[in-house]
Amino acid sequence: MQEKAAQVLNRVAGLTLFFWIVKILST
């Protein structure tokens, strides 16, 4: 359970970071 939660958090953090980079680059 703990590992799964960490994986999900990691993925969410990665997607958020990616989203911000795209947002910054497109301005």
How many domains does the chain divide into?
A: 1
Q: What gap in Å lies between CA 25 and CA 13, rounded to an integer?
A: 18
pLDDT digits (tens, 9 = 90+) for 1-27: 789 999 999 999 999 999 999 999 998
Give the tokens for residue 22. 């795209």
- pTM above the 0.75 mark? no
The residue range of the domain holding 5 is: 1-26
pLDDT of 27: 84
pLDDT of 8: 97
Q: What gap in Å lies between CA 7 and CA 27, rounded to an integer?
A: 31
